[in-house]
Structure 1
Amino acid sequence: MNYPFEPRAELRDVTLRDGLQLTGKVLPTEEKVALVRELLGLGVPSLELGSMARPDLVPPMANTLDVVRSLTPEELERCWIWVATPRHVAKAAAAGVRNFQYCLSVTDSHNTANIGRTTDASLAALPEAVELVASVGGRIQLCLATSFTCPFEGQVAPDRVLAIANDPRATGTEDIVICDTLGQAAPAQVGSLIARVRAETPERRIIFHGHDTWGQGVANSLSAIGAGATMVDGALGGLGGCPFAPGASGNTSSEDLLFATQPDWLTPAAFGRLVELSEGLLGTLGEPQRSRAAQGARSKAEAFEWVMTDRAAEGGKAVA
């Protein structure tokens, strides 16, 4: 039986971008494409497919456009690409991308480390990126990294986030992504900022991107949903982190978020398959399993329908 979390929100799985970028390993294109199709086929609403970051700086993103070219327009409609400049947008659009996540950091020091320019310089280039996206009939999000804390400057003032969210140069962005890049925020803090973004900035879909560094990933995501976010990001097995943010660890686990929110499409069988995909990927990458829900699915409590067993996937039971 499902017990859907209210209010409802969707999961965006970011395994193939934020999940992979810190591993240092390039997953072959065909394996990325297979994972995309498995996740979409199971019912995951949307995915973060990759990044236009320089492959010499973030090697796991080197084959992002090869993945894009391997997918159908219908599959790409549910996928997002990380971009940071108009040039990124133009190059990705030429390959068939239509959903763009334009990212900048709230603090200058992290934006300089991550993107090589000040926050204001990234904002100044945003109107050109919006225009390019509009010319191909696409969608663009404003993604604000270090919305709570910065590895170089510490605590970030909420008013700084709101000022960027209200900047007229962000006109044309359809969504806003509020990021706990370091995983140092607490639930009340997340709820407060999301509520202010909802009340005090232009009407847009609000997405929360959290990390689980201090063990608050799921709690923060639920707090964000309660305050008005309608999408939350997660990665299989809690994989990932930012290579330019000292102290950042893995993303909030997709499995944990899904078990907590229990969307209508999630059955025990589908959940079991997600755990299998997670375990296979983590094994390939040599990464640990950080998802508590995935660990729970491998427990011996067989009377609980979400625990994976060797029985056929019928009557709500998952297969091993």
Structure 2
Amino acid sequence: MRTAPLDIMIQEVAPRDGLQIEPKWVETGDKIRLINSLSTIGFGRIEVSSFVSPTAVPSLRDAAEVFAGIERRPGTIYTALVPNRRGAERALAARADELNFVMSASETHHRANMNMTHADSLASLAEIVKPAHEVGALVNATVATAFGCPFEGVQPFKKVLDIIKRYLDLGVDGITLADTTGMANPNQVSQLVAKTLIVLPADQLTLHFHNTRGLGLVNALSAYDTGARRFDAALGGLGGCPFAPGATGNVCTEDLVNLCHEIGLTTGLDLQRLIDLSFRLPGLVGHEVPGQVAKAGRPLDLHPIPERLRRSV
């Protein structure tokens, strides 16, 4: 049983953010088995699925069936992404422990992603929080494209902070800053995280990075050094956004765990078990996945000395 507090909390999003963009249909039973395996590894949060239009995201059209089939581990929060009140009602009916509401800082991206204005989405969020709290569910609100938008470019800090204030005024339990298309850099991350932590405790802030331009781990480390303690990641580095041109995978869970362990941060997660589970992903999605540690092995996994060198000793 875990007793000491963790240095960093890594939250698994592969079942939702990882699979949403996959063209190959992943069977409901396979999704359930993946989530159950992740649960046994000990994640504090797992994003299970998304209650959005099946036309918009057909790969997750079985969200209710997946929630009904998973084995819930005590101590793990099972999250569902919701875009509006209807999605929230479906997620609560499926007994999601937490609703993850998403609105982009960029109104252009938000219209492309959700077909809603900021005003529309904030009105929806206002309708979601109370019903969720009445049944004991948490509400997390995400600021997508918080660091940059493929249509509008870099988003001003003030714009992001204004959205955070609106979220807090509506009574959300946590906030995520998402680098939806991997446009963030470490300096920008440090500045926005520092400004956010003035108005929000570290245990209520999550950082969600994509590795589109190879800066995912660097940005995560920058956020940690600035005071952030909660991070989303996806097994194997799966994922992307179907409504953001060029968006590729999330920060890879096993790569992030390896980084943390190498610099002495406790995660509560078994790296070898993550690697073993990551090996199963190509068979699930039909292609190789971008994670690096699963390919190279842990740094402590040394290779035998070549025979010719052993003979010369």
Q: TM (normalized to structure 1)?
A: 0.86
Given the alignment, which residue of 256, 263, 268 partners 1:265? 268
Are residue 148 (structure 1) and residue 151 (structure 2) matched? Answer: no
Deviations 1:85-128 (A, max 9, x none): 01111111112112110111111111111111111211122111
User: Which position in structure 2 is the counterpart of 1:119?
Assistant: 118
User: Which position in structure 2 is the counterpart of 1:57?
Assistant: 56
User: Which position in structure 2 is the counterpart of 1:225?
Assistant: 224
User: Which position in structure 2 is the counterpart of 1:297?
Assistant: 297
Whole-angstrom distance in 1 between the partners of 2:63 and 2:179: 24
Is contact 1:176–1:204 with CA below 8 Å preserved after alignment?
Answer: no
Is contact 2:202–2:227 with CA below 8 Å preserved after alignment?
Answer: no
Instruction: Give the Å deviation of 1:71.
Output: 2.7
The change in CA–CA distance for 1:53 and 1:15 in structure 2 (over 3 A counts) is: same
Instruction: Give the Å deviation of 1:76.
Output: 8.9
Are residue 186 (structure 1) and residue 185 (structure 2) matched? Answer: yes
* Other structure's SS at 1:166 match: helix
The change in CA–CA distance for 1:17 and 1:163 in structure 2 (over 3 A counts) is: same
Is contact 2:10–2:230 with CA below 8 Å preserved after alignment?
Answer: yes
Whole-angstrom distance in 1 between the partners of 2:195 and 2:71: 38
Is contact 2:6–2:268 with CA below 8 Å preserved after alignment?
Answer: no
Is contact 1:179–1:209 with CA below 8 Å preserved after alignment?
Answer: yes
Instruction: Give the Å deviation of 1:72.
Output: 4.5
* Other structure's SS at 1:25 match: coil
* Other structure's SS at 1:155 match: coil
Are residue 287 (structure 1) and residue 287 (structure 2) matched? Answer: yes
* Other structure's SS at 2:198 match: helix
Instruction: Give the Å deviation of 1:12.
Output: 0.7
Instruction: Give the Å deviation of 1:228.
Output: 2.5
Is contact 1:108–1:118 with CA below 8 Å preserved after alignment?
Answer: yes
Share of identical aligned residues, percent? 34
Structure 1 residues 177-216: aligned runs within 5 Å: 177-200=176-199, 205-216=204-215
Instruction: Give the Å deviation of 1:24.
Output: 1.9
Are residue 11 (structure 1) and residue 14 (structure 2) matched? Answer: no
Instruction: Give the Å deviation of 1:272.
Output: 2.4
Deviations 1:116-169 (A, max 9, x none): 111121112211100111121110001110001111111111110000111267
More deviation in 198-207 or 85-94? 198-207
Deviations 1:250-284 (A, max 9, x none): 11100111111133533xxx322322221211233
- For the aligned residue pairs, the C-alpha RMSD in angstroms reads 2.2
What are structure 2's unaligned runs of at least 5 residues?
305-313
Whole-angstrom distance in 1 between the partners of 2:239 and 2:156: 26
- Equivalences, count: 296
Whole-angstrom distance in 2 between the partners of 1:127 and 1:106: 18
Which amino acid in 1 is paired with 2:69? S
The change in CA–CA distance for 1:7 and 1:56 in structure 2 (over 3 A counts) is: same
Structure 1 residues 28-177: aligned runs within 5 Å: 28-72=27-71, 74=73, 77-167=76-166, 170-177=169-176
Instruction: Give the Å deviation of 1:48.
Output: 0.8
Is contact 2:83–2:101 with CA below 8 Å preserved after alignment?
Answer: yes
Whole-angstrom distance in 1 between the partners of 2:183 and 2:164: 21
Deviations 1:280-306 (A, max 9, x none): 1123312323112222218xxxxx534
Deviations 1:156-191 (A, max 9, x none): 111100001112674311110000001111111111
Whole-angstrom distance in 2 between the partners of 1:172 and 1:165: 11
